[in-house]
Amino acid sequence: MTDIELQKFKHICQRIGLNIPAGCQWSWDEKFGHALVVFAKEDLELILLPIALEFEQKWDFATIDGSAAMISEFVHSGFGLMPGQDFFMAQDPAHRNLILYATCWPWGDGDNFSLRVGIFCSRSEAINPGQIRAYLTEWLPITDHKAP
């Protein structure tokens, strides 16, 4: 697929980025192919506000199996959901096979949370991982550091 305009996804990512505390650094998670930022529990509500407002759907451990088959399969095959973890998604009307997603979940210590943002495509040939990384690196201040 050639470069496409994903203005809706860009707007959502920029809104999310506004609420990330200054001391938190975005990084690229090579294993899962998405952006990652770690933040403290006290920043959770501030960070989740634009996510709740911008994403059309929210799934969790109890509801993910009721999602469309491609969503459920993507979540279960990629990282799964445990109680306390959420999966948010948005679609671009001009590119219905592309889904911007965000996952948010606590770390085992309960003091830190991870927010992960990525793009999933229902047709694997439609967008390559390098293009996904290029988009997210443009929209979010991702450093060259690897994810923790």
The three-class DSSP label of residue 148 is coil
Provide the β-strand partners of residue 121. Answer: 98
SS3 readout for 52-65: HHHCCEEEECCCHH
Sole residue written with tokens 């229902």: 122
Q: How confident is the model at residue 124 (pLDDT cuts 50, 70, 90)?
A: low
CA distance 92 to 95: 5
Sole residue written with tokens 């305009």: 5
**CB 36, CB 29: distance < 8 Å:** yes
The DSSP 8-state label assigned to residue 147 in this structure reads P
* pLDDT at residue 83, rounded to an integer: 75
* pLDDT at residue 1, rounded to an integer: 38
Query: Structure pTM?
Result: 0.85
- Closest alpha carbon to 33 in 113, 114, 143, 147: 147
Residues 43-86 have pLDDT tens digits of 999 998 889 888 988 887 777 777 777 777 777 677 777 777 88
Structure tokens at 131: 């293009």
Residues 42-54 have pLDDT tens digits of 999 999 888 988 8
Which H or E run contains 12? Answer: helix 7-18
The three-class DSSP label of residue 116 is strand
